[in-house]
């Protein structure tokens, strides 16, 4: 540690070169920060304790098939079930059919099952009491500039009302806040409407439920409860498939894309290039300091401490660039999310990404510094000073 100033001085011996290399490293780790955040958000989607304690029951046939509402009472009676609610996909869009909104028609008690979504009691009451009432996520409200009291038109791309029109009117009665920001990205974007209003207005639903959400009393019993729920409708014409919310979300994400593989390949290409680039810088740096290193050795520095100093220099170079890059990613992500007005909802750089990043910095630093450091250690003082 006491040689830090020496390492620092040799790092910035050629300012242009070091700064140019640093920018490359910053770019690489900025990209790493952004991509790893995306990867983590995909792999962590739904992986909360609440997600493990909630079961989703849908038709075994497919997710678009509905289930009879009578299942509610049956599921309630299953041992280990704390509460059950039902919901339907509404398929709403605002103004433009491309402005899709995550909109569900839900049972009055739906939010009881989602303790991580905060909404005031008054607003809950207003929702249940207002036929055309709607509760909207914080980010969604921001995105379209909605406030409590607004009357908003929503177009359903599936359900017309009895006159055949697909334009629905809703009164916003409350705002949903996700209390757990890490997994809350989705809840912030939700639009909830009353199932009863939905069912009575469209001729196409006729008292069916899209899926059931069940909260179990004991997480460890989740699998048993899921099997018991599926047993209720075994061999009927509406067999069900029940999964924990965790498993269901993970399976959806997997169907969407193999994000891990894509991110892994990109980062592989980036870090391979970076290895070469910073390796070249370190080789140059040590080569042009040959005589200085010989002097160091002459005045008594051991080969091992010279080795350590060169290694420290390359690790410092990588750390410096890497930390700035990851820091930039941390700053940029919320800015981009805010700038897009809620359209994009990127997760921020988590502690896992930071740890992986720092490990990569150290690892690449050591690999990159190894060869020049080895050369410096083996340096023969007489040859080096003679310029041979």
Partner 1 sequence: MNWLINAGLLLLLAVVLAAWVMLPWPGALALAVLLAGWLLLTRRGRQTLSVANVGISTLTQRLGSSGVIVVGIAGVVGVLVSLLSMAEGYAETLRRTGGTDSVIVMRGGSASEVSSVLTREHIALIQQADGIARNDKGEPLASEELVVAANLPVKGGAPGEEGSVQLRGVGERAWAVRPQAKIIAGKAFGPGLRELVVGQGAARQFAGLVPGGTVRLGAQTWTVAGVFATGDALESEIWADGNVVADTYRRGGSRTSVTAKLADPQAFKTLKAALEANPQLQVDATTTLDYFSKQSEGVTKVLRIIGITVGSIMAIGAMFGALNTMFAAVAARAREIATLRAIGFSGVPVVVAVMLETMLLALIGGVLGGLLAWAVFDGYGASTMAAGSVGKLSFALRVSPDLLWTGLKWALAIGFIGGLFPAVRAARLPVTTALREL
CB closer to partner 1 out of 118 and 259: 259
Radius of gyration of the chain measured on its C-alpha atoms: 29
CB closer to partner 1 out of 3 and 271: 271
CB closer to partner 1 out of 182 and 241: 241
Question: What whole-number distance in Å separates Cα of residue 115 and Cα of residue 119?
Answer: 10
How many angstroms from the chain centroid is the CA of residue 258? 14
CB of 124 to partner 1, least distance (A): 30
Question: What whole-number distance in Å separates Cα of residue 70 and Cα of residue 232?
Answer: 11
CA torsion through residues 109, 115, 116, 118, sign? positive
Nearest-5° angle of CA 240, CA 241, CA 247?
160
- Reduced to 3 states (helix: H, G, I; strand: E, B; else coil), residue 213 is strand
Touching partner 1, residues 147-186 (CB under 8 A): 155, 157-158, 160, 164, 166
CB closer to partner 1 out of 51 and 133: 51
Among 2, 73, 145, 237, binds partner 1 (CB under 8 A): 237
CB closer to partner 1 out of 284 and 305: 284
CB closer to partner 1 out of 62 and 73: 62
Q: Which stretch binds partner 1 (CB under 8 A): 21-29, 115-123, 211-219, 304-312?
A: 21-29
CB closer to partner 1 out of 208 and 385: 208
CB of 386 to partner 1, least distance (A): 19
344, with CB counted inside 10 A (0-12, 13-18, 19+), is exposed
Among 7, 10, 11, 30, binds partner 1 (CB under 8 A): 30
Among 1, 2, 16, 96, binds partner 1 (CB under 8 A): 16
Does position 13 interact with partner 1 (CB under 8 A)? The reply is no
Touching partner 1, residues 191-210 (CB under 8 A): 204
Among 31, 118, 126, 362, binds partner 1 (CB under 8 A): 31
CB of 193 to partner 1, least distance (A): 17
CA torsion through residues 346, 348, 354, 355, sign? negative
Question: What whole-number distance in Å separates Cα of residue 323 and Cα of residue 315?
Answer: 12
CB closer to partner 1 out of 273 and 380: 273
CB of 236 to partner 1, least distance (A): 7
Q: How many residues bind partner 1, per CB under 8 A?
A: 54
Touching partner 1, residues 44-83 (CB under 8 A): 59-65
Does position 9 interact with partner 1 (CB under 8 A)? The reply is no
**Encoded tokens for 77:** 């009676």
Among residues 150, 148, 193, 152, which one has the least CA distance to residue 169?
A: 152
Question: What whole-number distance in Å separates Cα of residue 348 and Cα of residue 360?
Answer: 19
- Backbone dihedral region for residue 344 (phi beyond 0: left; psi -120 to 50: alpha; all else: beta): beta
62, with CB counted inside 10 A (0-12, 13-18, 19+), is exposed
Among 95, 120, 169, 251, binds partner 1 (CB under 8 A): 251
Does position 132 interact with partner 1 (CB under 8 A)? The reply is no
Q: State the residue for tokens 């006729």.
A: 206
CB of 61 to partner 1, least distance (A): 4
Question: What whole-number distance in Å separates Cα of residue 150 and Cα of residue 177?
Answer: 18
Cβ(270)–Cβ(10) under 8 Å?
no
Instruction: Write the DSSP assignment of 84-122 as a string of letters.
Output: EEEEEE--EESSSTTSEEEEEEE-TTGGGG-TTEE--HH
Touching partner 1, residues 324-383 (CB under 8 A): none
**Site of interaction with partner 1 (CB under 8 A):** 16-17, 20-21, 23-25, 27-28, 30-31, 34-35, 59-65, 91, 93, 97-98, 155, 157-158, 160, 164, 166, 204, 235-237, 239, 241, 251-252, 255-257, 265-266, 269-270, 272-274, 276-277, 280-281, 283-284
């Amino acid at each position: 540690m006491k040689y830090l100033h020496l390492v620092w001085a040799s790092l910035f011996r050629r300012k242009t070169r070091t700064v140019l290399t640093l920018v490359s490293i910053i770019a690489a780790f900025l990209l790493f920060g952004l991509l790893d955040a995306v990867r983590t958000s995909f792999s962590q989607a739904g992986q909360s304790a609440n997600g493990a304690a909630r079961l989703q029951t849908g038709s075994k046939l497919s997710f678009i098939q509905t289930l009879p509402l009578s299942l509610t009472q049956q599921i309630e009676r299953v041992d280990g079930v704390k509460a059950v609610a039902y919901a339907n996909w509404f398929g709403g869009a605002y103004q433009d059919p491309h402005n899709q909104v995550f909109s569900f028609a839900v049972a009055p008690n739906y939010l009881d099952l989602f303790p991580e979504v905060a909404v005031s009691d008054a607003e809950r009451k207003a929702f249940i009491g207002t036929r055309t009432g709607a509760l909207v996520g914080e980010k969604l409200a921001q995105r379209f500039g909605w406030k409590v009291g607004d009357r908003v038109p929503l177009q359903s791309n599936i359900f017309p009302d009895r006159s055949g029109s697909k334009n629905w009117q809703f009164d916003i009665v409350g705002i949903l806040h996700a209390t757990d920001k890490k997994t809350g990205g989705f809840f912030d974007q939700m639009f909830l409407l009353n199932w009863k209003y939905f069912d009575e207005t469209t001729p196409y639903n006729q008292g069916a439920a899209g899926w059931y959400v069940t909260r179990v009393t004991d997480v460890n019993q989740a699998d048993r409860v899921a099997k018991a729920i599926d047993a209720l409708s075994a061999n009927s014409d509406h067999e069900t498939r029940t999964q924990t919310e965790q498993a269901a979300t993970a399976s959806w994400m997997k169907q969407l894309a193999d994000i891990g593989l894509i991110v892994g390949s990109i980062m592989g290409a980036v870090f391979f290039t970076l290895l070469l680039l910073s390796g070249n810088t370190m080789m140059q740096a040590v080569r042009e300091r040959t005589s200085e290193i010989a002097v160091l050795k002459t005045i008594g520095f051991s080969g091992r401490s010279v080795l350590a100093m060169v290694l420290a220099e390359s690790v410092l170079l990588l750390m410096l660039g890497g930390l700035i890059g990851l820091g930039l990613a941390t700053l940029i992500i919320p800015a981009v999310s805010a700038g897009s007005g809620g359209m994009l909802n990127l997760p921020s750089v988590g502690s896992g990404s930071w740890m992986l990043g720092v490990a990569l910095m150290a690892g690449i630093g050591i690999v990159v510094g190894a060869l020049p450091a080895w050369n410096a250690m083996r340096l023969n003082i007489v040859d080096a000073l003679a310029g041979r």
